[in-house]
Chain A
């Protein structure tokens, strides 16, 4: 296992964890752009642009793009988050060159008007699909309520109105600014020919013009809002809660993830024993998400509406108790064992390593091997977890609930 990196003259960075014994190769372009880099006028443009990348380039039609990915047998896709847009393909090692060339090409899409109009319909369908399925948009609504006017409160999908109103020209301007090579990391993992990777990147991405467009990171507010939204057709009641947590560059993030595992993993955690095991809730979990300059603890709860108010009280009591008493040594060990096993299991797939390597680099300009992560987890102490609890209390928090109930009493 060898880590290698290179930088093109235009600022595009290339990082790879090369495993000569690997069975497959995974490559991906990580673009440092997402919903937080948008304005109201172009809300949803990052995600729409991610779709448009597959609709053809100067040299390829949309059919060519899809057909060529399939011809090389690639497992490929793309996704957009609050701050990143990622395009990736997992292939057999002999297809590395073709995969990199094709991925690089689609990062400079043609944005033809006809394709834009057709794809707009797909995006509108996607928005409606998420409105029809749990948690019925409560996740984005909670982020909006929690972050308020801060850019991390922005919707990734955008609204039906903002997407309908988007023009090709606005998307083209966004593409030129945000897909500047200095905003792009080419990451790879598995059986990678690194010299070939750099040569392909030079050939395909070398001519890309560098444009200066950074991201201003504002301090995130810690708002505490309670909002109940009625959706009479829903069967269950859904709750999303957000509280501040360690940011992507904060060393506390490991302890935060361990704390979330103890308190709210989907099995064997405090939320599990008090809410899920007795059948009081269908799901009750706590997780930790990290962004540039901000982080968040996310609580997710789904249950019978009749039990929603009582369950909110139970969650609140669990969070207050852990703030007052901390976690036990047995809980710490159990969480470590779980997390370390997960790190090893996901590290066995080239694709799993690609996301770890790419995310570590785009968020922190840092390479961490599986061994580094295992060591960091193993070294955590009860004091580390206590420090996180002091700096980032789980309550008070922002709560959005959606479901059949007209009113839900805050705990």
Chain B
């Protein structure tokens, strides 16, 4: 049994959501600030990532070097990333060090120096990261798939565009920070061993006087979808396939997600069995649910040598299309068994839980306990999933390939 999830909303809108895991020695946090690449100005694609990089280069009483030293000395295992809608700072450490770690991150999001003297170093870091993706064909194909499938700005690459990264000035960073970093929409997830009363008081003290900002307005424009090929010098051809699904907050989400679990997950799932095990067409093949607040999609990936790429695309698409004929209950049983294990094992990971409850809050306005998720999964039946699939068969595919040769897409593309 897990402990009840606790939450506290500050007057300025910032949300603290926390799950006690008293059997652990660690505590972890996930701080979601409501600024992501969808908020980047069109000619400054990558600005949110750039701002995040700059925010970590000195904040509050600490310069850049001191900040990293102090986090290291607190043993904070940390990461930061930018999604469509969030800048995410997360970390895990020994429970006793959590308050000090949180205080440093409060400085990072509220009082970063954003110093001109660090601008060129930050720019070089961003450009290096952009260049690194150019060398990762499996990642690159999914970046292009996302860009072509989701309406702009939802499909933008988090690493930005080279030209924009080269053009970003320190004023852009200051302006972006000033407009977008604020308490409303900021969610702090904490999990592990902590005292709720002390945590709540600390969060009030750290963030209570953070002045609210205006919410961001986003204007969508349609995505190209269809099929696109990107020539790339490589042994293998990378294949990305996307189709529309429902977002996490949608009542049908778990049915859609159960169907994807039959397609991909364990080694007995359909894609792994048909594409890799029976035919030996590739090493890596998978499908995953992608969710934004209001948009959902399923993304599939396969990477294979060029001479077998056409067959791999055909077999993969065939399996995806075949979903509409329904799934079997023994397939669903395996999905459920896998999820049940995963949920139980989350109790061994404070960082996993802090991320889950923060994400839940963004999508649902509340966090689901492990028991609640388990009940939702347990309630799934093959009949209910099949009814969903009959109404929403996978179709209108967006397809992207990356490799020496263009392929033919036989099944319906959008």
Same complex origin of A and B = yes
Does A119 sit within 8 A of B, measured CB to CB?
yes
Q: Which residue of B lies closest to A24 (CB)?
A: B345
Most buried by B among A62, A74, A129: A129
Q: How far is the CA of A67 from the CA of B273 in the complex (A)?
A: 10
Q: Which residues of A contact B75 (CB under 8 A)?
A: 337-338, 340-342
* Contact between A23 and B348, CB atoms less than 8 A apart: yes
* Contact between B303 and A129, CB atoms less than 8 A apart: yes
* Contact between B279 and A70, CB atoms less than 8 A apart: no
B336-350 Cβ-contact flags toward A at 8 Å (1 or 0): 111111101101111
* Contact between A63 and B341, CB atoms less than 8 A apart: no
> Knowing A67-B268, A133-B135, A279-B120 touch, does A338 contact B128 (C-beta < 8 A)?
no
* Contact between A125 and B121, CB atoms less than 8 A apart: no
Among B63-71, B200-208, B239-247, the one that faces the other chain is: B63-71
Query: CB within 8 A of B277: which of A66, A267, A338?
Result: A66
Does B305 sit within 8 A of A, measured CB to CB?
yes
Q: Which residue of B lies closest to A23 (CB)?
A: B347
Q: How far is the CA of A218 from the CA of B69 in the complex (A)?
A: 42
> Knowing A72-B337, A279-B123 touch, does A337 contact B273 (C-beta < 8 A)?
no
Does B258 sit within 8 A of A, measured CB to CB?
no
* Contact between B123 and A129, CB atoms less than 8 A apart: no
The prevalent SS among residues of B at the interface is helix
Q: How far is the CA of A131 from the CA of B305 in the complex (A)?
A: 11
B89 to chain A, nearest CB (A): 14
Q: Which residue of B lies closest to A279 (CB)?
A: B124
Q: Which residues of A contact B234 (CB under 8 A)?
A: 132, 233
Does B380 sit within 8 A of A, measured CB to CB?
no
A316-358 Cβ-contact flags toward B at 8 Å (1 or 0): 0000000000000000011001101110110011110000000
Q: Which residues of A contact B126 (CB under 8 A)?
A: 279
* Interface size class of chain A, counting residues whose CB lies under 8 Å from the partner chain: 35 or more
Q: Which residues of B contact A280 (CB under 8 A)?
A: 124
Q: Which residues of B contact A75 (CB under 8 A)?
A: 338, 341-342, 345
Q: Which residues of B contact A342 (CB under 8 A)?
A: 75, 77
* Contact between A131 and B123, CB atoms less than 8 A apart: no
* Contact between B128 and A303, CB atoms less than 8 A apart: yes
Does A285 sit within 8 A of B, measured CB to CB?
no
Q: Which residues of B contact A69 (CB under 8 A)?
A: 266-268
Q: How far is the CA of A90 from the CA of B343 in the complex (A)?
A: 13
Q: How far is the CA of A276 from the CA of B71 in the complex (A)?
A: 17
* Contact between A24 and B135, CB atoms less than 8 A apart: no
Q: How far is the CA of A345 from the CA of B347 in the complex (A)?
A: 13
Q: Which residue of B lies closest to A267 (CB)?
A: B68
Does A128 sit within 8 A of B, measured CB to CB?
yes
Q: Which residues of B contact A267 (CB under 8 A)?
A: 68, 72, 78
Q: Which residues of A contact B266 (CB under 8 A)?
A: 66, 69-70
Q: Which residues of A contact B277 (CB under 8 A)?
A: 62-63, 66, 118
Does B74 sit within 8 A of A, measured CB to CB?
yes
> Knowing A67-B268, A236-B135, A340-B75 touch, does A129 contact B280 (C-beta < 8 A)?
no
Q: Which residue of B lies closest to A75 (CB)?
A: B341
* Contact between B65 and A273, CB atoms less than 8 A apart: yes
Closest 9 CB pairs of A and B: A279-B124, A341-B75, A121-B280, A73-B337, A70-B266, A73-B341, A282-B128, A66-B267, A233-B233
Chain B residues proximal to chain A, CB less than 8 Å:
23-26, 64-65, 68-69, 71-78, 92-94, 97, 120-129, 131-132, 134-138, 232-236, 265-269, 272-273, 276-284, 303-305, 333-334, 336-342, 344-345, 347-351
- Known contacts A75-B338, A268-B69, A280-B124; can you find 6 more A-B pairs with CB under 8 A? A23-B344, A66-B277, A134-B132, A279-B124, A303-B128, A341-B77
